């Protein structure tokens, strides 16, 4: 039972002052601006947008500043703000095939139509500190390992020296194709890939922010829950799948990062309006499937899509998406990552943090009740033990 506690107002106001002081830190150090966070801590902002389930880089940066960099607290701020906004409607489904690609890699095909584009990635960096970043002066880029980037496939055209390879001037390069096929669709053309088509009538998706979730949950519900779910939780579950708690060790069919336009049809206009671009990360995971008596052996998919540049999130989501499809393929749901109720009820870090952290708030009355109960039980026990020696009637309540 919850019993309200009153008082402590002055102390609470004082803690607000103290938190402002702690947030600011040493005033001898210049204050960080929201624009600096947005531009220089973009990957953090992406995580806050995903878990706050609201695409707005400025707000994500503000949330991070206000929360002293606490990502879950920042996501909470985004969620709280979102509830104050009216919703105008739903966008047309975004078309990731028309993404303006900044990065696109495949672990399954070396020679990919449209090409492998490394883009900005930490994949090929040494995890060594760049102490130059500690200086205020403009620092050197954490670049490619020159021993790798120097080895281009076409030595006749590619520059040989490491230095040249690092600064290949962009004006010498043709822009990328505006339409790049998704890798699973290449396998799909051969019939080797589980097809991915909209259900009859292309229904509006379920929205777990508007309607209560019931189980078993359909794929649209699962994908929405994971898109706003905690990256760490999904990463752990995805890892468990790979390690044998879910029986999949898939390939990355493709990861792509870039900008897609968001289109919306206002009821009063009746035609699609292009609202601008958002950055998305998409991951297509290719998994084995032995087939069943109805279906020939084929590859199956796991899908991840997330706001901003957030590959780890999109990859984890696609691993767990495939694990959660076990029911559709008649596989046994033996492991946590395969159980939709477990995954969906525990992936939301704002809910999880709320329930875990509420434990530190006053429970004085509950605890008094427990304390009284345990004292009474102990007293009764002592009386009973004494009574076994002195044949007295047992104290009964």
Q: Which of residues 15-54 bind another protein (CB under 8 A)?
A: 49-50, 53-54
105 bridge partner residues: 255
Kindly indicate which of the ranges 64-72, 83-91, 234-242, 388-396 contains the residues binding another protein, using the contact rule CB under 8 A: 83-91
Q: How far is the CB of 207 from another protein (least distance, A)?
A: 5
Residue recorded with tokens 């991915």: 196
276 near another protein, judged by CB under 8 A: yes
CB of 171 to another protein, least distance (A): 7
Hey, what are 292's tokens? 């069943």
Measure the CA–CA gap between 1 and 73, rounded to whole angstroms: 27
Using CA atoms, how far apart are residues 308 and 43, in angstroms rounded to an integer? 7
Residue with smaller CB distance to another protein, 70 or 220 = 220
- Residue 41 phi, psi dihedral angles, 5° rounding: -125, 45
Whole-angstrom Cα distance, residue 57 to residue 72?
16
Phi, psi of 226, deg, nearest 5: -70, -35
At 28 the three-state DSSP class reads: coil
> Is the CB of residue 337 less than 8 Å from the CB of residue 324?
yes
- When asked if residue 393 is in the footprint of another protein (CB under 8 A), the reply is no
Residues 91-110 that bind another protein (CB under 8 A): 91-94, 96-97, 100-103, 110
394 phi/psi in degrees, rounded to 5: -70, 135
Minimum Å gap between C-beta 326 and another protein is 16
Site size toward another protein (CB under 8 A) is: 92
Instruction: Annotate each residue in 293-332 with x if it binds another protein (CB under 8 A) or - if it does not, as one string.
Output: --------x-x-xxx-------------x-----------
Residues 237-266 that bind another protein (CB under 8 A): 258, 261-262, 264, 266
Q: Which of 7, 30, 86, 191 binds another protein (CB under 8 A)?
A: 86
Which residues, numbered 134-193, are part of the site for another protein (CB under 8 A)?
149, 152-154, 168-171, 173-176, 182, 184-185
Judged by beta carbon, residue 192 or residue 363, the one nearer another protein is 192
- The rounded distance, in Å, linking the Cα atoms of 246 and 338 is 7
Q: Which residues lie closer than 8 Å to 144 by C-beta, 6 or more apart?
A: 118, 124, 125, 165, 166
Nearer to another protein, 269 or 296 (CB): 269
Query: Which residues, numbered 204-223, are part of the site for another protein (CB under 8 A)?
Result: 204-210, 219-221, 223
Torsion of CA 296, 299, 304, 305, to 10 degrees: -90
| Residues of span 331-360 touching another protein by CB under 8 A | none
Per CB under 8 A, the list member of 17, 29, 161, 271 interacting with another protein is 271
Instruction: Name the minimum Å distance from CB 318 to another protein.
Output: 10
First to last CA, the chain: 23
CB of 179 to another protein, least distance (A): 12
């Amino acid at each position: 039972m919850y019993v309200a506690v009153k008082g402590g107002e002055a102390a609470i106001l004082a803690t607000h002052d103290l938190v402002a002081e702690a947030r600011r830190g040493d005033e001898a150090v210049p204050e960080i601006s929201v624009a600096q966070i947005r531009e220089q801590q973009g990957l953090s902002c992406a995580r806050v947008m995903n878990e706050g389930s609201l695409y707005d880089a400025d707000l994500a940066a503000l949330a991070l500043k206000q929360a002293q960099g606490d990502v879950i607290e920042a996501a909470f701020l985004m969620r709280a703000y979102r509830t104050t906004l009216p919703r105008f409607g739903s966008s047309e489904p975004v078309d990731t095939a028309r993404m303006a690609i900044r990065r696109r890699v495949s672990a399954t095909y070396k020679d990919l139509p449209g090409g492998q584009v490394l883009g900005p990635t930490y994949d090929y960096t040494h995890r060594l500190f760049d102490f130059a970043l500690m200086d205020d002066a403009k620092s050197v880029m954490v670049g490619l390992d020159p021993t790798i980037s120097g080895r281009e496939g076409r030595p006749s055209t590619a520059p040989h020296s490491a230095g040249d390879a690092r600064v290949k001037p962009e004006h010498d390069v043709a822009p990328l194709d505006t339409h790049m096929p998704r890798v699973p669709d290449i396998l799909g053309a051969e019939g080797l890939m589980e097809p991915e088509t909209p259900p009859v009538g292309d229904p509006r998706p379920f929205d777990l922010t508007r309607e209560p979730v019931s189980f078993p949950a359909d794929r649209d519900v699962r994908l929405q829950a994971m898109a706003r779910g905690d990256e760490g939780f999904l990463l752990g579950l995805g890892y468990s799948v790979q390690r044998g708690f879910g029986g999949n060790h898939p390939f990355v069919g493709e990861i792509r990062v870039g900008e897609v336009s968001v289109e919306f049809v206002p009821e009063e206009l009746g035609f699609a309006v292009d609202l601008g671009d958002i950055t998305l990360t998409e991951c297509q995971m290719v998994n084995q499937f032995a087939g069943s008596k109805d279906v020939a052996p084929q590859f199956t998919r796991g899908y991840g899509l997330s706001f901003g540049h957030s590959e780890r999130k999109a990859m984890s989501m696609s691993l767990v998406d495939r694990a959660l499809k076990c029911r559709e393929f008649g596989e046994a749901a033996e492991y946590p990552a395969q159980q939709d109720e477990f995954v969906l009820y525990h992936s939301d870090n704002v809910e999880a943090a709320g329930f875990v952290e509420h434990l530190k708030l006053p429970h004085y009355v509950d605890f008094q009740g427990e304390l009284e109960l345990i004292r009474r039980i102990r007293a009764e026990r002592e009386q009973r033990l004494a009574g076994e020696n002195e044949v007295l009637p047992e104290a009964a309540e």
